[in-house]
Structure 1
Amino acid sequence: MRYSMIAAGIVLASAAQADTPTLTVYTYDSFVSDWGPGPAVEKAFEAECECDLNLVGTGDGAALLSRLLLEGARTKADIVLGLDTNLMAAAAETGIFALHGQEDVAFDLPVEWDDSMFVPFDWGYFAFVYDKTKLTDVPKNFKELADSDLKIVIQDPRSSTPGLGLLMWVKAAYDDGASEMWRGLSDNILTVTKGWSEAYGLFLDGEADMVLSYTTSPAYHLIAEEDDTKAAAQFDEGHYLQVEVVAKVAHTEQQGLADQFLAFVVSETFQEIIPTTNWMYPAVTPAAGLPDGFETLTVPENALLYPSGDAQQVRDGALEEWRAALSE
Structure 2
Amino acid sequence: MNIMRAFTISAVVALGAAACSTATTTDETTSASPTTTASPMPTKVTVVTHDSFAVPDDVLAAFEAGSGLDVTFVAPGDAGTLVNQLVLTKDAPLGDVVYGVDNTFASRAIEAGVFADYTSDARAATDAAAYAIEGSQALTAIDFSDVCLNIDLAAFGGDLPAPRTFDNLLDPAYSGMVSVTNPATSSPGLAFLMATIAAKGDAWPEYWSALNDNGLRVTASWSDTYYTDFSAPNYGGDYPIVLSYASSPPFEAVDGQPTTAALLDTCFRQVEYAGVLAGAQNPQGAQQVVDWMLSDDFQASVPENMYVYPVSTAVTVPAEWAQYAPLAADPWTIDPTTIDAKRDEWIQTWTDTVLN
TM over 0.5: same fold? yes
Structure 2 contact 92–279 (Cα < 8 Å) conserved: no
* Cα shift at 1:112: 6.6
Which residue of 253, 257, 260 maps to 1:230? 260
SS in 2 for 1:72: coil
Aligned to 2:63: 45
Q: 1:210 aligns with which of 219, 235, 241?
A: 241
| 1:119–1:41 CA distance, 2 compared to 1 (3 A) | farther
CA distance in 1, matches of 2:215, 2:142: 31
**Code of the aligned partner of 2:337:** G
The residue number in structure 1 matching 2:28 is none
Partner of 2:348: 320
Q: Which of the numbers 297, 300, 321 marks the counterpart of 1:294?
A: 321
Q: Which has the larger radius of gyration?
A: 2
User: Which residue of the partner structure matches residue 245 of structure 1?
Assistant: 273
Q: SS at the partner of 1:304?
A: coil
| Contact 1:98–1:250, Cα closer than 8 Å, also in 2 | yes
Return the letter of the residue paired with 2:260.
K
AA in 2 matched with 1:210: I
For residues 5-30 of structure 1, the C-alpha deviation after alignment (integer angstroms, 9 at most, x for no partner) is xxxxxxxx9x99x9972110110112
Aligned with 2:162 (options 101, 126, 138) = 138
What residue in structure 1 maps to residue 294 of structure 2?
A: 266
1:197 shift after superposition: 0.9
Moved over 4 A (4+): 108-115
Distance 1:231 1:266 in 2: 29
What letter matches 1:92 in structure 2? I
TM-score by length of 1: 0.85
Q: Unaligned regions of 5+ residues in structure 1, if any? A: 1-12
Q: Aligned residue for 2:145?
A: 124
Deviation at residue 234 of structure 1 after TM alignment = 2.5
Change (3 A) 1:71 1:161: same
Counterpart check, 1:106 vs 2:134: no
- The worse-fitting range, judged by mean Cα deviation, of 275-284 and 106-115 is 106-115
Unaligned runs of 5+ in 2: 8-39
Which of these residues, 298, 304, 307, is aligned with residue 276 of structure 1? Answer: 304
| Matched-pair contact (CA < 8 Å) for 1:146–1:188 | yes
Please tell me the residue identity of whatever aligns with 1:143.
D
Decide whether aligned partners of structure 1 residues 190 and 100 sit closer, same or farther in structure 2, where only a CA change above 3 A counts.
Answer: same
Task: Go from structure 1 to structure 2 and tell me whether the alpha carbon gap of 1:182 and 1:306 turns closer, same or farther (over 3 Å shift).
Answer: same
Give the equivalent residue in structure 1 for 2:251. 220
Choose from 76, 82, 89 the match for 1:71: 89
Residues 1:106 and 1:152: Cα distance change in structure 2 (over 3 Å): same
- 1:149 is aligned, of 173, 182, 187, to 173
**Alignment deviations for residues 85-107 of structure 1 (CA, whole Å, 9 cap, x no partner):** 11111101221311121267221
- Which has the larger helix fraction? 1
Mapped partners of 1:143, 1:79: distance in 2: 41
Q: Which residue of 2 aligns with 1:255?
A: 283
Match of 1:10 in 2: none
The verdict on how the C-alpha distance between 1:112 and 1:46 changes in structure 2, with shifts beyond 3 A counting, is: closer
Q: 2:330, 2:261 → 1: CA distance?
A: 18
Question: Which of these residues, 186, 191, 195, is aligned with residue 169 of structure 1?
Answer: 195
- SS state at 1:92 partner: helix
CA-based RMSD of the aligned residues comes to: 2.5
The letter of the residue matching 1:162 is: P
Contact 2:147 2:191 in 1 (8 A): yes
Please tell me whether residue 27 in structure 1 is matched to residue 45 in structure 2.
no
Q: Does 1:61 align with 2:79?
A: yes
Tell me what 2:110 maps to. Answer: 92
1:198 corresponds to:
224
Mean Cα displacement is larger for which, 93-102 or 297-306?
A: 297-306
Question: Residue 20 of structure 1 contacts residue 50 of structure 1 at CA under 8 Å; is this kept in 2?
Answer: no
Q: CA deviation at 1:286?
A: 3.3
